Structure formats: structure tokens, C-alpha cells
Structure 1
Amino acid sequence: MRALELDQLRTFVTVAEAGSLSAAAPRLFLSQSSVSEQLRKLEERAGVPLLTRGKQGASPTPAGMRLLEHARRILALSELALQDLRGHALDGELRLAVTDYFRPGEIAGMLRRLREHYPYLRLHVTVMKSGMIDAGALTDAFDIGLSMRLPGARGGQRGARGTVLRREALAWVAAEGEAEGINAPLPLVLLPDTCALHQYVVQMLLRRRLDHVIAHSASGVAGLQLALAAGLGISCLNESAIGPGVARIDARTVSRLKLPALPAAEFYLLPARPGEAPLVAKVRAALAEQFA
């Protein structure tokens, strides 16, 4: 029996994670036809369909889901073996501070895949507010910080760009189907006032002289998502933090409520500290690759 080929497995995993062949092709530096051909050969070798293709993209079949877990481990072990032979394996213990707005529905899976790639790396992850991460940039509170910044927001790391991982549009959101019933004063659902996005939203509304009230203060993004889905008010969230039961407020309602236009949020790894250990720099580069 012929073994599975790494390139075909890598293509399969990338398509499964990207959601379509067209989205996966540039990540693999292949044409869409080459991606399709590799998947065809893999399915021939497996003897079962691995992906369901349709107008909405591509998703793994039950057999594909089983292969997906194996494929991730196989690719991770292959990469680990190469790193070990080259003396590049990451071995050590580090503390990572992550803003709770960063891809909350995906962060656990991303950390799991990071552990698969670097099994000797021991990461202690703490979810924190962006303001706390920025304030702790030069302290010993953590080794690496993944924070969020907003255009024109007060505070933050002025002049320090860091490594930008992604940009996400901000949106006004509310419970699905309930935005039309909202009126002034605007009932806001936000994190506490130490949150940079809380401060940003309130400052925008004050500048516009829009009447508002804090209807609910949640301790974290998960609680904020639940409060929004329960219909307790409206909020401003980045795209990946819009949870189940929550939807963007339509343009007509945004116009009626005179809500201001929103920019994009920027997620970034804080820059290196003076005298930083080589391991920290290597882990920062690995995080940038895995989380981008």
C-alpha cells in the first residue's frame, strides 16, 4: 500500500481550513487547478471522498474530518523532525498575553496546532484587556503580548509598531432580528471602561453627542456575546468576535440611529524588548507564522 504524500496532505489541510480551493491556492502558492489535482489524487489514494464541494466552498466529509486530525499530526511531526535535525526546535517555557478580541472562536484551535508544531514549547496563555497588555509591555508580567489597537485611540504603544498579524473591520452589532427596535438612548453592551474598545466607542458617541447608556457591562468577550444574543443592547465588535445569535446592524438602522462609521482594528504582537532572550524572539516569529 502506497503511503500518503505530505504535499497532498498539506493541500488538504489548507483547503479544509481556508474553506475553499480558491482561498487555499494563494496560501499554497499553487494554481487552483493544481490544488484540485492534488485533492483528486489524495481522494483516489484514500478510496473515499474527503471534501464536499459546493457554492459555499469546500468542507470535509466525515472521512475527511478523520483524516484532517491525522494529517495535522503528520505534518507537525514532519516539521518537528526537520527542525530538530537543523537544531531549530523550540524548547522552553514562555508566558503569552492575548487580547480577548483576537479570534475568540479560533484561538483554542490555533494554540493546539502551535503545540502540535512545537511540542517542547510550553506556553502559559493569559487572556487580558489590550490596555493591560500595552501597559505591561516593558514589565515582567508576560514574555510576549498580542494586543489590539484602534485608529486614534488614546494610550497604547505610541511609535512601536510590532508585528501586525491581521486587520479586521469593526461593526455595530445586536441580537439577530432585534436591531430595528432600538432607539435612543442607545443601550450599550460593553466590557468595563478599562477596555480600549469601550473607551473608543464612548468617545465616538460623545463627539457625536449621541445619547447612550451602559445597559450591560460584561467581564469578557464571551459574556459580551451572550448579553448581545440575549437582546440587552448594541455593541461594536471586530468581525471574528461576532458570536452566534449576533449580527451586524443593517445600514438603514445605522443611519437612523446616526451611528458613526467604523474603521478597522489592528491585531499585533508587541515589539521585542531590550535584551530579549533568543528563545522569545524565535517564539514571536513562530506565533506570527501560526496566527497570521
Structure 2
Amino acid sequence: MLAVPPGLDPDLLRAFVLIAEGGSVTRAAARVGRTQSAVSMQIKRLEDFLGKPLLHRNGRGLSPTPHGAWLLDRARQVLALNDQIWTGFWEPALVGHVRLGVPDDYALRWLPTILADFAETHPAVEVEVVCFNSETLAGRMEVGLLDLALLTEGHAAPGWTGQEVWRGPLRWVGSTRHGTHRRDPMPLVLAHHGCTWREAALDALHGIGRACRVTYNSATQAGCFTLALAGLGVTVSTTAPLPEGLAWLGAADGLPALPDMGIELLQSRSVAGSPAAMALAAGIVRGFAEAP
């Protein structure tokens, strides 16, 4: 008979995944509520157990070695199954209906994984996803038509405080065929007045004295990308995969740096009385934190 292989400790795998994704023992220790030395010892135990180095230090922090990269995807799968089993036995089954508002570009980028994970642990909860721009979603939150909403920072109505779940750079996007960014004045494809992305783009161009004009408006990122593909203007976006025919633009193209932008999670005042909505809110925060 073949010898039964020894079991892997999920806590050791979780420490490894958190460091590999965040590049830092400090951040991983904060996530699991342990000291840095305790988490470092966990990684040492895992490397001793597997007999291979799993992490190495580079200029930006810690990153997986080739053996670590091979382990990373498999460790995520093991942890997902571990958490699903634990939740299935110890957490009471949730039922209910949650109304979630999110801009379409955020929905496509982040929600598939977040909602798939949520459905595995809470299959009896019905989630209604509503896609509009941030300004419209903020208005729906005010009148009680949504339980949760993901908004670009700066759109929450007065008196509403959102929890930041992501922050990253805003960048210029233009057609690879039309050289739109070289026109004078430079045509722009942006959202409507009041959008924080629009104001950031215009402020940056005015700051360097670059002539520009907004030639088209679109309430959605998909609409802005479509118009930019047609060579009708330069647009802006957070870092994400771009459709074929679009490219990131920057200082080499004569364009100024843009500020970082955040994504905020707003919760309606009734969420505290809805375990299903509270569970989805926690899942969204966790999903953004774990996203690569």
C-alpha cells in the first residue's frame, strides 16, 4: 500500500497566500491578527514541510518563487474548499433579498468572483444587481431603492459615509490607430458634469495649459471606451484590461499624471437589520482585499 501523505495545515497556506498577494508579512499579520514573527514562523514551517523556498524578496517586497507560484493557485483552491466546509457546518443558513448597485465597469471587473464566492456560502440569498453610474446609484441609495452600492469616491450624498474598498491610479486611455491625443485642442470622451473622473482629467490638463474640449459624454465606461476606439476622443479609466485597439497613455505622450481614485461601499441604514446584506457587504470588502 502507498503511504498516506501528511496533511497540509490550512493556517500555513493562508499565511502564504496573504503574503504572496500582498507582498508583505506586516499586512498579512494584520489580516490574521497575529504578530509578524508568528506569521514568518508559519512560512518557515510551510517551507520546511514542503522542502522548497516559497517566497523571495525583490525591490517591491516579497513575491513567490517558481515553487511558490505553483503552490499559490492550489493553495487558494484548498482554502476556498476549507472555508466552504467550515461555513456549511457552523454558520446558520441565510435567506433574503439584497439589492446591490454598481457601475458596469466595476461589475465586470470585480463582481463575478465576489458573487460566485458569496453564492457558494449563501445559496439561499437572492442578490439583485443594478448597474448605473455612481451619481444615479447615490440617488437610489438616498431614496431607499438599494441596500448596498459601490461608488466612485466623491459621489456619496451629504451625510452618507462610504467604506473605501479599493484605491488605484486613474490613467489616460486612447486609440492605438487614431493618435487622438496629438490633436489640438485634444478631444475628450468623459462622463457628465459632476463625475470625479471628469473633474480630475480636466483639472490635470488645465494645470499644464493643455488645450482640450469634451466632444462626447457617456454615463458608462463601456460607452467611453467605444467612443475612444472610434478615435473620437481620449478618455480615462482605472487600471484594468483594455479592449483591443486601446492603449494606456501618459507622460511620454505629453499627458499629465492623474490622481488616485477610490471605490467606496455604501450601506443603507436598514442593512444593520439584514444579516444577508451584512454578509454580502463583508464578502465585497473581502473580495476587493483579496483581488490581485
**Fold similarity call, TM over 0.5:** yes
Q: Distance in 2 between matches of 1:103 and 1:20?
A: 28
Q: Distance in 1 between matches of 2:130 and 2:108?
A: 13
Q: Distance in 2 between matches of 1:43 and 1:119?
A: 36
Q: Deviations over 1:66-122 (max 9, x none)?
A: 3321222212432453333xxxx5332312111235485343223333334444433
* Superposed CA RMSD: 4.2
Matched with 1:200 is 199
Q: Distance in 1 between matches of 2:231 and 2:39?
A: 44
Return closer, same or farther for 1:275/1:156 CA change in 2, 3 Å cut-off: closer
2:279 is the alignment partner of 1:279: no
Return closer, same or farther for 1:209/1:67 CA change in 2, 3 Å cut-off: closer
Please show how residues 142-291 of structure 1 align to structure 2 within 5 Å: 142-150=146-154, 156-174=156-174, 182-191=182-191, 193=192, 196-197=195-196, 199-200=198-199, 204=203, 210-214=211-215, 220-222=220-222, 224=224, 233-238=233-238, 240-241=239-240, 243=242, 246-250=247-251, 253-254=254-255, 262-273=258-269, 277-279=273-275, 282-283=278-279, 285-287=281-283, 289-290=285-286, 291=288
For 1:149, the aligned partner's letter is E
2:132 is the alignment partner of 1:133: no
2:91 is the alignment partner of 1:83: yes
Partner secondary structure for residue 8 of structure 2: coil
Q: Distance in 2 between matches of 1:223 and 1:52?
A: 42
Are the equivalent residues in 2 in contact too, given 1:48–1:63 (CA < 8 A)?
no
Partner secondary structure for residue 136 of structure 1: helix
Are the equivalent residues in 1 in contact too, given 2:99–2:129 (CA < 8 A)?
yes
Matched with 2:63 is 58
Return closer, same or farther for 1:246/1:110 CA change in 2, 3 Å cut-off: farther
For 1:196, the aligned partner's letter is C
Are the equivalent residues in 1 in contact too, given 2:174–2:249 (CA < 8 A)?
yes
Tell me the CA shift for residue 249 of structure 1: 1.0
Q: Distance in 2 between matches of 1:139 and 1:166?
A: 25
Q: Percent identity?
A: 25
Q: Distance in 2 between matches of 1:226 and 1:186?
A: 17
Tell me the CA shift for residue 214 of structure 1: 2.6
Return closer, same or farther for 1:209/1:142 CA change in 2, 3 Å cut-off: same
Are the equivalent residues in 2 in contact too, given 1:91–1:121 (CA < 8 A)?
yes
Total equivalences in the alignment = 275
Tell me the CA shift for residue 250 of structure 1: 1.4
Tell me the CA shift for residue 7 of structure 1: 1.3
Matched with 2:14 is 10
Return closer, same or farther for 1:284/1:106 CA change in 2, 3 Å cut-off: closer
Q: Distance in 1 between matches of 2:198 and 2:180?
A: 25
Tell me the CA shift for residue 166 of structure 1: 3.4
Q: Unaligned 5+ residue runs, structure 1?
A: 256-260
Partner secondary structure for residue 158 of structure 1: coil
Tell me the CA shift for residue 162 of structure 1: 3.2
Are the equivalent residues in 2 in contact too, given 1:73–1:116 (CA < 8 A)?
no
Are the equivalent residues in 2 in contact too, given 1:225–1:242 (CA < 8 A)?
no
Q: Distance in 1 between matches of 2:52 and 2:267?
A: 45
2:127 is the alignment partner of 1:123: yes
For 2:78, the aligned partner's letter is H
Query: Greater shift after overlay, 266-275 or 176-185?
Result: 176-185
For 1:83, the aligned partner's letter is E
Partner secondary structure for residue 142 of structure 2: coil
Q: Distance in 1 between matches of 2:13 and 2:128?
A: 30
Return closer, same or farther for 1:44/1:229 CA change in 2, 3 Å cut-off: farther
Partner secondary structure for residue 137 of structure 1: helix
For 2:250, the aligned partner's letter is I
Q: Unaligned 5+ residue runs, structure 2?
A: none
Tell me the CA shift for residue 130 of structure 1: 0.5
Tell me the CA shift for residue 145 of structure 1: 1.5
